[in-house]
Amino acid sequence: MNFDPRYSGRSFTSVGTRPIRPDGVDKVTGRARYGADFNMAGQLVGRVLRSPHAHAKIRKIDTSKAEKLAGVKAVITAADLPDLTDGDAAMYDILDNCMARTKALYDGHAVAAVAAVDARTARQALKLIEVDYEVLPHVVDVDEAMKHTAPLLNDAIFTEGLEEKPVKPSNVTKRTQYGHGDIHEGFGQADFVVERSFKTEQTHQGYIEPHACVASVSSDGTADLWVCTQGHFVYRQHCAQLLGMEASKLRVTSSEIGGGFGGKTHVWAEPVALALSRKAGRPVKLVMTRDEVFRASGPTSATSIDVRIGARKDGTITAAEATLRYSCGPYAGMWAEIGAMTAFACYKLDNVRTVGYEVLVNRPKTAAYRAPSAPMAAFAVESAVDELAKEIGMDPVEFRIRNAAQEGTRSSYGPVYGPIGIGPTLEAAKNHPHMKAPLGKNQGRGMACGFWFNFGGQTCTDLNIGMDGSVSLAVGTVDVGGSRASLSLVAAEELGIDYGQVKAVVADTSSLGYNDMTDGSRGTFSSSMATISAARNAIKTLRDRAAQTWDIPIDDVVWEKGHAIAKGEKYGNLAALSLKEIAAASGKTGGPIAGHSELVADGAGVSFATHICDIEVDPETGSTRVLRYTVVQDAGKAVHPTYVEGQYQGGAAQGIGWALNEEYIYGKDGRLQNPGFLDYRIPVCSDLPMIDTQILEIPNPNHPYGVRGVGETSIVPPLAAIANAVSNAVGVRMTHIPMSPPRILAAIEAER
Amino acid sequence: MAGVAVSTTINGDTVEYLCQPDETLLDVLRDRLGLTGAKEGCGTGDCGACSIILDDRLVCSCLVLGAEAEGRHVETIEGMAHGDSLHPLQQKFLEHAALQCGICTPGFLIAAKDLLAKNPDPTEEEIRFGLAGNLCRCTGYDKIVRAVQDAASVMKGA
Amino acid sequence: MMPKSAQRFSDKHHGPNEGLALMVEVTLWGSLGALAGGKSKVEIEAKDIRELFRKLAEQYPGLEPLIEKGIAVAIDGTIYRDTWSKELPQGAEIFLLPRLAGG
Amino acid sequence: MRYIRPLSIEDAAGLLAGSTGTAAILAGGSDLLVRMKGGFIEPDLIVDIKAIEGLGEIRETAEGFSIGAAVPCAVLGESKVLKKAWPGVVEAANLIGSKQVQGRCTIVGNLCNASPAADSVPALVAAGAKAVVVGPGGKRTIAVEAVPTGPGKTSLAKGEIVEAILLDKRPPRSGDAYLRFIPRTEMDIAVVSAGVNLTLDEQGRVKSARLALGAVAPTVILVEAAAEVLIGSRLDEATLERLAKVCSGACRPIDDKRGTVEFRRKVAGVLAKRAATTAYKRAGGK
């Protein structure tokens, strides 16, 4: 790392303002190009044939009839995507997910694909492909899948992480454990103990833009891929590895992305499109239908979680324990492990233990979804915490404040915390007017806390200064929600120029060094660090050019407010040189002026939030209405506060949908019953109130401006906050998410 | 399958095209006419990303056949700005950051334009129900509703 | 708003022992411990993450495949995923964690 | 595949009668195009009836109203006279889908799609609406509840088209209402629904009543026992409780992705009570 990333307190000129985003006009005029908005001359239409069975052996695939259909240019199966993963298990799983090899493992699993001259021909061709399936027993429920009698998805899986190596294969790929202290002793000190089991159903990221790409492989082995993705460099690596290509010969351009939330972090159909293009010798456009998106991409884990928490009469938690079972789809994952790490992260605990089980089921491969695994764990823990506070007779906010983690606390996942924001968010919530607002009949208030790690990672940025003094910033992290605006602000801040002088773009994989994808709330955090570094490098060059112009040593030139200034009385007659003036002369002083940066932006700094919500329940129908919702979250430093608010509001809205109505519903046949926006019910505009936000700024010591990631934490508390509100409204503890009207009504009726 | 010859008006211009009888107007706009502002989020009328105005009525272009546009007037997002000046709704969406990923934005703008044409002074509730056919997964709708409120007050004053 | 503690925290990273290899205590999370012969804490002489990983792999070959795949290192609570050059300050708490996925 | 836009209802019926493969009528298209997209139907012939004269109109006649088969539901909501006479029917029509869908969908399409959960149908059944059917054999007028016979199935013969829906003129002191239960506030298919139509006598007692339930049986059901409970009452608490019980008992629901048997039974009674109360108020009852 070529610069000092430490936080230094300073006042800002551009950072913290709210200008219009640079990509905005194209997005309000329909000009912005997303995955499906790009076309190439001579392109074919790619379509994927998917398994109608939840679990089936593929005996034989006969593609001969499809190949003979006029207009069909290529038909592929797993045979056209041979295994080149060389023992890399994670990549093998991605390959098998892209195209089933020996078994179809879920309803919607790809088994073959075609490229044809038009969509109609491609559709007809799919019907002509004959697949001989041997249908196998299936299992979709996470608890059922753990039973010894459950159908096995993969008989080569033996549970890892057990004391003794198991002799029999299992659907449980791994057991993990976190914690410290002695929970038996801790529970022994408790005056009150709450013990509950919880369940959450599987949800989908629900991005409005289906996966889409255009792939073009040339006969010389070079290729282009246009694709909607959260990480085009990662997609390049994946595709190159799976197709046996050299990474540098595959240029990947990220389109505008119509939402990802974790669902566009690894490849799904892109290697298939490339393989079709390679075989057909023509570009192939492959766009998933909404049905395919739900059946074969994305979803998060379904979970089953047991929680036990004990506390003394004075409100001190003495012990906490959770067992977390997370579905992974048909391939090994680390979803329960993340749940186990995050479950109790908000609290200061002397005795804590969490155990996670990763469980295979005949559902689509689980993908990351915004703070993956944390919302479900928080739902279980924060529900139990609320119940425990009630038993002790303490206010739930006070109870949490009393037990909140702080700097120096050993986290439940191991390390000791640096400066963190859980306490301040709780204090802010406690003092928020929302907490004191009166409630009506059938209304309940709930609150809950949430935690997320946040990531940094590999980042590379180019900052080029034009001869007219305008600045173009090329970043490699995909802009999922306004990061080009915030990065332009950062460049303007560092250079001391106007925001309008900077234009940020997302560069393709051939124009910039490797960047990790936009995940883990790292987009603005890491690229701003690289942008600051690149700007500082450019400033060094600018100072050098000014020094040359003045013929004085560079050490006598400082950079202030967008100008080079010769410091010291002896230079009193030298007028400051603006960036524009230095740029205009750059052809004579040494050529173009640029700043480059490549770094690993680690030290993202963990993030906490506290949410408050009011819910009204119709006791006769179980129908709910969110009356009021407030998000309090630490941003470190809000670079563009409007987009920070947007992240808070968006995460809360997704969490509200998850809490109340969103779920994957499988039939007895193991087929997904609701693969569409009609019956997979994400919140609509009339379902929600305005979502109030309060941004706290507790600087991250590992970022020059104190920035933390903000994108994910906001989805962690809502499930629990709403469950607590509903439980308070109806007087029955809700333990199953989503709290759909039939579930709420059944709970009320059972209590009567 | 014989193509259907269609003559229609799109954003004020006469347009002629040949389409298949089962082809949706959305596919015609996007694939034949290069008007990719309308997006396909679902293809079943559940997300509103393909919203257009057909003879003064807000519709999902994925639920209209290309052949049905014969002799009618189609308005798309590409026709919303006048020359280089944005429609007040477009301007307010920018100012309020009423978009994150932006994929739903063209549909929201068209739906909001239709809403304000029929109800120039809507309440928050009327805006929320009026835009319930347009899904947004990023914003939580807060800033969208505020942008529409602000645009309505600007348009009333104009 | 810069808490005093944060300042102190940052200073640790540039302490007086910069550049020297130190004996550090490293805590291993559950399943890693099993691969290091059932130990949950190990002592390693290392000045930065690179050296830490190299020596861990030498002394506990069972850890090597996991190190290859990627391990995160928490230093005083801050998680580092890729910075091999990150120095290990004296007295810092070093914790090995799995490399996580995000959305 | 052919797309044809005939100019007369006779031509439309003739095209349908003469078709050899799968033929489909296109009015609003909000069901047909979804089925085509999903590959559930691949019609050989699409007959677009929107160019047929008169089909796009709401006419006020001596007997009441005639709503053409191609009238979008949004237009129903814009008709002040219709809204005043049949507020329940109009609110049902304006609950179908989104504003976008309401700009296209029609109540005839909603009826002929034969979904037990169709929003406008319980209101139409409660209203005693009739369907004018035109076909190769001429014209006939039947009760709307006689059109759907099961999920996706109708009593219409090959070549028959529903040309219009007829609603009677309202006697004084009449009111109707429709309510449905959905998990969200908009955009869902009814999990259970209820339409109620009442006329009161001069003393404010229910003189005549019709109540229909949706999404609780293979077709929308007219609950005659419910009418018996209502008639003669002033919708006091005890009557409403009895009504809820009768309605819950009349349900023959299934468990599916949208709701459970228990939920549908219970909520059918709740909605019946609430819809009856609204209809009673609209009729001038106190």
Nearest to A414 among C76, C95, C101 (CB): C95
Asked whether the beta carbons of D239 and D161 are under 8 A apart, the reply is no
Q: Which of A403, A438, A442, A396 is nearest to A422 (CA)?
A: A403
Question: How many angstroms separate the CA of residue C58 from the nearest CA in chain A?
Answer: 22
**Cβ-based burial of D261 (10 A; exposed 0-12, middle 13-18, buried ≥19):** middle
ipTM over 0.85: yes
Q: How much is the average pLDDT of A362-389?
A: 98
The predicted pLDDT at position C64 comes to: 85
Higher pLDDT among residues C5 and A657, named by residue? A657
Structural domains counted in chain B:
2
Specify the pLDDT at position C79.
81
- What pLDDT does residue C82 have? 72
Q: How far is CA A247 from CA A233, A236, A239, in A?
A: 9, 6, 8
Q: How many CB atoms lie within 10 A of CB A571?
A: 14
pLDDT above 90 covers a percentage of chain A that reads: 94
Q: Higher model confidence: residue C80 or residue B5?
A: B5
Nearest CA in chain D to B67: D3
Name the CATH topology of A24-32+456-600. Answer: Aldehyde Oxidoreductase; domain 4 (3.30.365)
Residue that finishes a domain, picked among B52, B79, B106: B79
- CATH code of residue B43: 3.10.20.30
Q: Mark whether B47 and B73 lie in a shared domain.
A: yes
Query: Across residues D19-41, what is the average pLDDT?
Result: 95
D259 touches chain A (CB under 8 A): yes
Those residues with Cβ within 8 angstroms of residue A555's Cβ, 6 or more apart along the chain or in another chain: none
Whether residue A678 and residue D187 make contact (CB cut-off 8 A), yes or no, is yes
pLDDT, position C11: 38
Neighbours, chain D (3 or more CB pairs < 8 A): A, B
Cβ neighbours around D62 below 10 Å, total: 5
Chain A meets chain D (3+ C-beta pairs below 8 A): yes
- What is the C-alpha to C-alpha distance for residues D160 and C39, in angstroms, rounded to an integer? 81
* Domain layout of chain D by residue ranges: 2-49+58-168, 174-282
C-alpha to C-alpha distance for A142 and B33, rounded to whole angstroms? 48
Q: Taking 70 as the threshold, does the pLDDT of residue C6 lie above it?
A: no
Percent pLDDT > 70 in chain A is 100
> Residues of D with CB below 8 A from B44's CB?
34, 37-38
**Chain A residues within an 8 Å CB radius of C95:** 414-415
pLDDT tens-place string over residues A674-709: 999 999 999 999 999 999 999 999 999 999 999 999
Which one, of A108, A456, A112, A482, lies nearest residue A298 by Cα? A108
For the sheet with A471-475, list strands across it.
A502-506, A471-475, A458-465, A593-600
Å between A158 CA and nearest CA of chain C: 15
**Residue A419 confidence (pLDDT):** 87
CATH class of D174-282: alpha beta
Q: Do the Cβ atoms of A291 and D38 come within 8 Å?
A: yes
Interface residues of A toward D, Cβ cutoff 8 Å, are: 123, 291, 620-623, 625, 660-661, 665, 673-674, 677-679, 681, 683-684, 686-687, 740-742, 745-746, 749
Residue A193: beta bridge partners? Answer: A310
Residue with tokens 């509200």: A656
Closest CA to A706 of A111, A16, A1, A105: A16
Q: What average pLDDT does range C64-68 have in this prediction? A: 82
Q: In 3D, which of A98, A85, A77, A79 has the Cα closest to residue A241?
A: A85
Whether residues B57 and B15 share a domain: the answer is yes
**pLDDT value of residue C91:** 79
pLDDT number for residue A548: 95
Query: Of chain A residues 409-468, which have a CB less than 8 A from chain C?
Result: 411, 413-419, 453-458
Mean pLDDT over all residues of chain A?
Answer: 96
Task: Give the pairing of strands C71-75 and C94-98.
Answer: antiparallel
Mean pLDDT score, A294-311: 97
Considering only alpha carbons, which residue of chain D is nearest residue B51?
D100
Chains in contact with A, where contact means 3 or more Cβ–Cβ distances below 8 Å, are: B, C, D
pLDDT tens-digit map of B114-139: 999 999 999 999 999 999 999 999 99
Judge whether D172 is closer than 8 Å to chain A, CB to CB: no
pLDDT digits (tens, 9 = 90+) for A402-415: 999 999 999 999 99
Enumerate the domain spans of chain C: 20-84
Last residue of a domain, one of B38, B62, B79: B79
Cβ(A444)–Cβ(A559) below 8 Å: no
Residue-range definition of the domain harbouring residue B52:
4-79
Residue range B105-110: mean pLDDT, rounded: 98
Give one word for D215, left, alpha or beta, with left for phi > 0 and alpha for psi -120 to 50: left
Of A684, A686, A746, the CB nearest to D262: A746
Residue C4's pLDDT band (boundaries 50, 70, 90)?
Answer: very low
- A525 three-class SS: helix
Report whether A706 contacts A605 (CB < 8 A). Answer: no
Question: Rounded mean pLDDT of C61-84?
Answer: 82
Partner-chain contact B101 A29, CB within 8 Å: no
D196 within 8 A of D275, measured Cβ to Cβ: yes
pLDDT interval class at C5 (50, 70, 90): very low
Question: Which residues 116-175 in chain D show a CB within 8 A of chain B?
Answer: none
Contact A235, A270 (CB under 8 A): yes
What's the CA gap between D51 and A329, in Å, rounded? Answer: 51
Going by C-alpha positions, the residue among D159, D147, D111, D124 that lies closest to residue D9 is: D159
pLDDT at C3: 38
* DSSP secondary structure string for all residues of B69-135: GTT-EEE-GGGSSBTTB--HHHHHHHHTT--SS-SSHHHHHHHHHHHHHH-SS--HHHHHHHTTTS-
Q: Does B127 touch chain D (CB under 8 A)?
A: no
With 90 as the cut, is the pLDDT of residue A602 above it?
Answer: no
Query: Structure tokens of A292?
Result: 């395919």
Summarised one tens digit per residue, pLDDT across range C21-40 is 678 888 887 667 777 777 88
A-chain residues within 8 Å CB-CB of B100?
259, 480-482, 643, 646-647, 650
Chain A (231-270) residues lying within 8 Å, Cβ to Cβ, of chain C? 260-263, 265
The residue from B54, B79, B104 where one domain ends is: B79
User: Which pLDDT score, from 0 to 100, does residue A248 have?
Assistant: 96
Chain A residues closer than 8 Å to D191 by CB: 741
From A656, which residue of chain D is nearest by alpha-carbon distance?
D184
Q: Same domain, yes or no, for B61 and B99?
A: no
Domain D2-49+58-168, CATH number (from 3.30.465.10, 3.40.190.10, 3.10.129.10, 3.40.50.300)? 3.30.465.10
Q: Verify whether the Cβ–Cβ distance B132 to D104 is below 8 Å.
A: no
pLDDT of residue A2: 61
Q: What is the mean pLDDT of residues D226-246?
A: 97
Distance from CA of B102 to the nearest CA of D (A): 20
Distance of residue A96 Cα from the nearest chain D Cα, in angstroms: 26
Do C and D make contact, counting contact as 3+ CB pairs within 8 angstroms? no
DSSP string, A477-497: S--SSSHHHHHHHHHHHHHT-
User: Is the CB of residue A70 less than 8 Å away from at least one CB of chain B?
Assistant: no
- Say whether pLDDT at A288 is over 70: yes
Output the six-digit token pair for A226.
């246009």
* Residue B34 Cα, gap to closest chain D Cα (Å): 21
Residues 44-73 of C with CB under 8 A from A: none
Would A24-32+456-600 and A138-417 be classified into the same CATH topology? yes
Looking at chain B, the whole-number percentage of residues with pLDDT higher than 70 is: 99
Pairwise CB contact (< 8 Å): A1 & C97: no
DSSP structural state of residue A552: S
The total number of residues written for chain D in this structure: 286
Residue D72 at interface with chain B, using a CB cutoff of 8 Å:
yes
Q: Classify the C-alpha dihedral B127-B129-B135-B140 as positive or negative.
A: positive
Chain B contact set for A482 (CB, 8 A):
97, 100
CATH of A138-417, one of 3.90.1150.10, 3.40.50.2300, 3.30.365.10, 3.55.30.10: 3.30.365.10
Compute the distance between CA of residue B111 and CA of residue B119 in angstroms, rounded to an integer.
12
Exposed/middle/buried for residue A591 (C-beta within 10 Å: 0-12, 13-18, 19+) = exposed
**Nearest CA-CA partner of B70 in B26, B2, B10:** B10
Vertex A107: Cα angle to A109 and A155 (nearest 5): 75
Taking CA atoms, A202 is separated from A300, A303, A359, B140, in Å, by 6, 8, 13, 21
Confidence band for C1, pLDDT divided at 50, 70 and 90: very low
Residue B158 burial by CB count (10 A; 0-12/13-18/19+): exposed, middle or buried? exposed
If asked whether residues B60 and B97 sit together in one domain, one would say: no
Subunits with 3+ Cβ pairs within 8 Å of C are: A
Is D97 in contact with B129 (Cβ distance < 8 A)?
Answer: no
Q: Which of C1, C2, C102 sits opposite A519 (nearest CB)?
A: C102
Q: Cβ of A600 and C9 within 8 Å?
A: no
Residues B54 and B73 in one domain: yes
- Does the beta-carbon distance from D97 to B44 stay under 8 Å? no
* String of DSSP letters for C9-61: HHHGGG-TTTTS-EEEEEEE-HHHHHHTTT-SEEEEEESBHHHHHHHHHHH-G
Q: Does D110 touch chain B (CB under 8 A)?
A: no
**B59 and B94 assigned to the same domain:** no
Same domain, B93 and B52: no
